[in-house]
Amino acid sequence: MDKKERLKKLVSVLNEASKAYYQKDTEIMSNLEYDKLYDELQGLEQETGIVLANSPTIHVGYEVLSELEKQAHPAPMLSLDKTKETAALVSWLGIHEGVLSWKLDGLTVVLTYENGELHNAVTRGNGEVGEVITNNVKTFVNVPKVIPYKKSLVIRGEAVIRYSDFNRMNDEILEVGDKYKNPRNLCSGSVRQLNNEITAKRNVHFYAFALVEDILEEEQIKEYGFDNTITGRFAWLKEQGFDVVEHFLVNADNLEKQVMDFAARIPDNDVPSDGLVLSYNDIAYGRSLGRTAKFPRDSIAFKWADELAETTLTEVEWSPSRTGLINPVAIFEPVELEGTTVTRASLHNVSILRALALGLGDRITVYKANMIIPQVAENLTRSDDLKIPENCPACGESTVLQDINGVQSLYCMNAECSAKQIKGFSHFVSRNAMNIDGLSDATLEKFIAHGFLKKLPDIFHLERYRDEIIQLEGFGEKSYDNLITSIESARKVSMAKFIYSLGISGIGLANAKVIVEYFGQDFDKITEASEEELTAVEGIGEVLAKAFYDFFHTQERMLVVQELLAEIIFEKEEVTGEQILKGKTFVITGSLEKFANRNELKEYIEKAGGKVTGSVSRNTDYLINNDVMSGSSKNKKANELGIPILSEEDFIRLSNAE
């Protein structure tokens, strides 16, 4: 493994260790091993002059912006002319040497480096004006923050989210309607976030594909050892620490074979693409050809000719989601496309379904968009007699067809629809609520679908379905026994956690604790409190008071609460220790070292009489951040308001926690 690859490997391993330690409360390596690898990384960064943006040796502060700044490009960014014919590519290339590369399907980004450091990053935008995303790019997985080259450098590349990451994120979303549509849309939304902490979680990669500014002075050619070719520039960019788009040298003799090789690799290619790009390797020759009104003449795009298959539509499945959106999915007789068997394709919404004039038994053609995502291309029969469901397939209540910006979609408006209840069930059993292990979203979905769960109290009677549960995929005697044990343990719960578990709009665990303490842990007083009485509780304003009051004065909800009260016993929370932080409000940000996680620190503060909120305001007494000198938005706000910023050590001294 060469030094640059070793550097990337060390960044990945050390970041994974930090994530496990700070976020998951586990250790995957000893402190000694971590320090050893960290020192090796620092040495390699000094030796190579390459520092990746996500290296643990530097800190990227998360920042929330109100809007993205706009910036004009020095020269318009043009699109490429296109063809779907391999023969046209061969003719275009002629006797010249070319470079064939993936046409990546993401978001084009322009990076500017000054004095060896990342100075600016801008999206393609409309080709003339883009959006400044510098802070977001610093969270990309593989963008160097520091490079060896110390003069001005501008490069173009593609920001992408790999299929493996895209599928992982979608696998965590149960409802079809909530899933991300494709990696490109997810990448575009991720790159253009106002909060770059969200960008960081999306695992965005960057692949360079062009130098924008000429750096080819004679002395530099000698210094860096590359000629005025695309392959030479790619090699040089690699030396600077960039990942470049995968590419191959081609000529008229091997071009067709290389296109076929690319096509054969699409099913296993982890980086989204929507075709290929062919460019003249000789940059001077390519530029000498000039441009048309729309396209440069030095490159051409190759789009895959979609493989169509004819089949018969057998069913349209309507899939309800927790948002109420009911998505149509085409089910058809199996066909082979791009080497796989395909039987279904999303129709996305009612407008698309109607435009296709679908009816059961129609002959349709289907294809894979970008050779990956199944789509219905055309309806050859167009019987147009498919009925839109008048009732939700999950709960049976009436559906509503809504037109939003010219797009018609079907919705279930029943707030109690079982398809919408997964979120409520999931919140009820979560760690900070009833803390019931064994009821993941996937398990809850199965139990609801089988009729085991219709309302929250049913959780305490799952033993009725023992025989059915142990037969479910992924379940057995042991899983069932563990689940029942966890449910029985949950019957003893603090009043605050129970109130929080009910999912009252805006009421977090901290709010619930303050309310319970204010009313002396008397549940009847709490549920009968007026809005005026509730607003007297510290931190409970009119909006929260109304939401709380309305919840406990809704007959249907109170019936559920009464049923739940018959299943549980409240454990009194004794106030332990001196209330040394009483009346003090804290905000926590950044990673922690002394406390296992933010919840543990928050719980400590609340037990000592303090309060924890999510944002810095004039009501904040202290901001806790181990990186006291960070330029994060919360640090800036605290400094503006004169609010002390405490490290954990400072906080421990303040609270006498040692």
Residues designated as active site: 103
Beta 273-280 vs 247-250: how paired, if at all?
Answer: unpaired
- C-alpha 306/C-alpha 320 separation (Å) is 30
Look up residue 129 and give its DSSP letter.
E
* β-pair partners for 160: 205
> Which contacts (CB < 8 Å, 24+ apart) does range 557-560 have?
557/502, 558/527, 560/455, 560/456, 560/457
Compute the Cα dihedral for 194, 196, 197, 203 and give only its sign. Answer: positive
| Angle at 135 (CA atoms; ends 131, 139), nearest 5 degrees | 120
Residue bearing tokens 């500017």: 112
Q: Taking the chain, what is the end-to-end CA distance rounded to the nearest angstrom?
A: 46
DSSP SS3 for 53: coil
The answer to whether 241 and 45 have CB atoms below 8 angstroms apart is no
User: Which residues lie below 8 Å from residue 173, measured CB to CB, with a gap of 6+?
Assistant: 179, 180
Block residue for tokens 């979120």: 423
CB neighbour class for 91 (10 Å; exposed up to 12, middle 13-18, buried from 19)? exposed
Separation CA 606–CA 298 (nearest Å)? 65
Closest CA to 244 of 271, 221, 265: 271
β-bridge mates for residue 401, sequence order:
410
How far, in Å, CA of 244 to CA of 359, rounded?
A: 47
Instruction: Give the number of residues written for the chain.
Output: 658
Half-sphere exposure of 462 (CA within 13 A, CB side): 27
Strands (E) in 181-242, as ranges, are 205-211
**Which parts of 576-646 fold into alpha helices (H)?**
598-607, 633-641
Q: H/E element holding 353?
A: helix 350-355
What are the φ and ψ backbone dihedral angles of 617, each rounded to 5 degrees? -145, 180
User: Which two tokens mark 640?
Assistant: 């503006």
What DSSP string describes 57-122?
A: TS-----B-SSPPEEE-SS------EES-HHHHHHHHTTS-EEEEEEE-SEEEEEEEETTEEEEEE
Residue 333: CB atoms within 10 Å: 12
**Helices 648-655 and 598-607: crossing angle, nearest 10°?**
20
Biggest alpha carbon–alpha carbon distance for the chain:
88
Q: Is the dihedral of CA 191, 197, 202, 208 positive or negative?
A: positive
Backbone Cα Rg of the chain: 30
Within 10 angstroms of residue 39's Cβ, the number of other Cβ atoms is 10
Closest CA to 212 of 140, 116, 283, 285: 283
**CA within 13 Å, CB half, 154:** 11
CA distance linking residue 296 with residue 289, whole number of Å: 8
- Decide the pairing of beta strands 144-146 and 51-52: antiparallel
